[in-house]
Structures are given as structure tokens and as C-alpha cells.
Amino acid sequence: MKPYRGFKHTIEISAETIQRLLHEYLEQLTDEGFKVLVVLMGHYGKAHVDAVTQVCEEFSKSHPEVTVLAFPEYLVAVDDGVRGDHAGAYETALMMHYYPETVDLSRLPTGRALTVDEDGIGGDDPREKATTQYGRWLAERIVQRLVERVKEALQRIKA
């Protein structure tokens, strides 16, 4: 985001660094005997997703004995109406579930809509929709769907 939107207080890591680290992780996990590797992206800017997806696709071609599942975490629950955001109701609800002490919605401005440019928040308004209960449901749904995908991949390996 820093070079694209000029956001201060942002650390930008090059695509090449991300790709090299990911490739090394995949190699080492494969060396340890894992047959299904899950790369769950919690950051889903297009450049990031493209960099990660490229490595996973190349790795899958060179290691046909391994299944690599790579996608942003919210995609497994899209059919439940889940959409990823940027510090909006979705991400805030997850934080309220996992780390409630880090969320203080009262610090958000009142009397106006929240924006990415002014507040770093995009998506549904967390002041209106983010709850601990929603966060728990999201976490459980995402894990449930991931388990289903891993089981399907393991079945294909056995077939």
C-alpha cells in the first residue's frame, strides 16, 4: 500500500522476498512429508495474491505429488455472503473474536462514513456490524470449510 496509496506507517516487502520465503517454506514442508499444503492469505491486495499464487502454481507443477491450496481466507466462505475487507466489519469481527483487547470501536470517528483514505477502513462499517459473535462464526466457518478442502485433497491423493 505504501508505494501505491502513499500510506504512512506501512512496511512494504517486495514480491521477490515474499516469493522466495514462500518457496522455501513449501520446499521444507514437502521435505517433511506433507502432502497437502495450505497457504491462507490474510492480506489480499492484488499484487500480494498474484505473487503468492504464482509461486504456488509453479511449485505445484514441479511437485505433482503435493497439493497446494492457496487463497485468501474469506474465499472459502463467499457462498455464505462473506467478503474480505480492510479493517471493516469482517476483519474487525475476527479481531474481536481472537484478540478482543485490541479492538476499541469507540475510538472511531462518529457522524460520518469511514473511508480507506481517512481511516484505513474499507468494507462494511465495523461500528454497525462487527461483533464477537460474528467473529466466532466467521472463524468457525472458515476452519470448517478449510477442513473440507483438505479432506477433499487427501481423498484425491488416495484415489
Return the domain boundaries, the chain: 2-158
pLDDT grade for 101, boundaries at 50, 70 and 90: very high
Q: Is the pLDDT of residue 4 over 70?
A: no
The pLDDT value given to residue 1: 52
Q: What is the mean pLDDT of residues 100-125?
A: 95
Q: Is the pLDDT of residue 3 over 80?
A: no
* 74 vs 1, higher pLDDT: 74
Q: Is the pLDDT of residue 137 over 70?
A: yes
Residue 69 DSSP SS3: strand
Grid coordinates standing for 89?
466489519
The pLDDT value given to residue 126: 98
CA angle 81, 82, 84 (to 5 degrees): 145
Among 66, 52, 61, smallest CA distance to 19 is for 52
Q: At what angle do helices 15-31 and 46-62 cross, to 10 degrees?
A: 40
* 118 vs 137, higher pLDDT: 137
Number of H helices, E strands in the chain: 7, 2
The average confidence (pLDDT) of the chain is 92
| CATH, range 2-158 | 3.40.50.10310
Among 14, 59, 64, 17, smallest CA distance to 39 is for 59
Residues 6+ apart with CB under 8 A from 8: 2
Q: Is the pLDDT of residue 2 over 70?
A: no
Evaluate whether 133 touches 141 at the Cβ level (below 8 Å).
Answer: no
Q: What is the mean pLDDT of residues 61-67?
A: 96
Grid coordinates standing for 113?
462514513
Q: Is the pLDDT of residue 145 over 60?
A: yes
Identify residue 142 by its one-letter amino acid code.
Answer: I
19/54 Cα distance (integer angstroms): 8
